[in-house]
Amino acid sequence: MHEVVNPFDLSVIGSVPTADWETVDGYLSKADALYKDRSGWKKPHERAAILHKAMKIMEERRDHLAHQIANEGGKPLVDAVVEVDRAINGMELCIHDLANIKGTEIPMGLTAAGDGRIAWTTREPIGVVVAVSAFNHPLNLIVHQVAPAVATGCPVIVKPAADTPLSCFEFISILHEAGLPEDWARAVQPPRDVSEKMVSDPRVAFFSFIGSAGVGWSLRSKLAPGARCALEHGGVAPVIVDATADIDAAVPSLTKGGFYHSGQVCVSVQRIFAHSSVIDELAAKMAVAAKALKVGNAIDGDVECGPLIRPKECDRVAAWVEEAREGGATVLCGGEKLSDTTYAPTLLLNPSVDATISRNEVFGPVVCLYSYNDVDAAIAQANSLDVAFQAAVYTNDLSSVMNTYRNIDASAVMVNDHSAFRTDWMPFAGLRTSGHGVGGIGYTMHEMTHEKMIVIKA
């Protein structure tokens, strides 16, 4: 059995079974057989009914699911409740988006060769889906990877993060309780070598990965020929704050975007480029806001920043901050471990652009502030890394909005809102080394199907 601990006090809170290759191979064989037996494919209304029933079960267990997220993942309970609500809404989105899984008419009379024919396409499930997930949203990420597979009729096997498997295994159990036959959706917790063998198996038609870039790109290189994939990695999210920005409105937004889930979010605010005329005010007010955040065990209702997922991550963040401090950064607040598992919300002023924390995703409760006078130079610095995901700009100047939107490397730009904003139906995509493909419920459902054409000569 694989034991799961609360990341704050490291107490054991549960366990899930480990899976050897024999188990995984059996699941893949059954999933492959289900896909190949077209007579057993469930109709869209049958899949929708299962998702709807599962959604109702999740609603009934909302408080339990939220506590489980906080307990295994260290996400503050108030945010865990929001995650459960998003996961429930994601199920509903899958049901609604079934109406968008459709083909198109293909015009045939454009040349003489096409005369006397009509053609159209439909969309079919792509095949067996294997998903590997991350720890930071242990229920909602699983919903994003598994529910679209169920909705589109793909058998799916999911491996959750080793730190947070309880929510995943429970969600799969809920699907079974709602009427989905067990072999159509399985959760597994295999060792690394078995996971890699599972991902690279030729029976896998689609691979969904959420996690670190190094692991994701490595696994992509090992996929069997013909397998499609979607990769969602991290970024080092840049934010521009210009001279016209409403600082009082920006501070709570940036504080939430930077310290939500103790910064363990792939689009968390990490690099704020603020105009020299406002940076002192912004820095002072953000420091006050960050110092006021309560750090502790995420299952306590008043905690705003929980632990890092593992003690070694706390040590890593501390080392990065110390390196930045030694390189000339001013520590405006925080800058210290509060325990083996928690780190104080930290604000750094003008760390070196060569510091590790300026170049790499910190995935911890640290936000960096950089002063600028030339916005084009600030945007160039924001664009200087090999990662690109979501970005933001705070301004009351429309030309500043458009300049940032046109010139910053990002798949989405938030205006007067933090870079970590997301709804579950919008496109969500990392660029360059930050990812491959497009996430979001409807987009994932589209990716898990392929187009099939019929041409009739009449």
- Residues recognised as catalytic: 232, 266
Beta bridge partners of 323: none
Those residues whose C-beta lies under 8 Å from the C-beta of residue 351, and which sit 6 or more positions away, are: 324, 327, 328, 329, 357, 358, 368, 370
Tokens representing residue 426 in the block: 């919008």
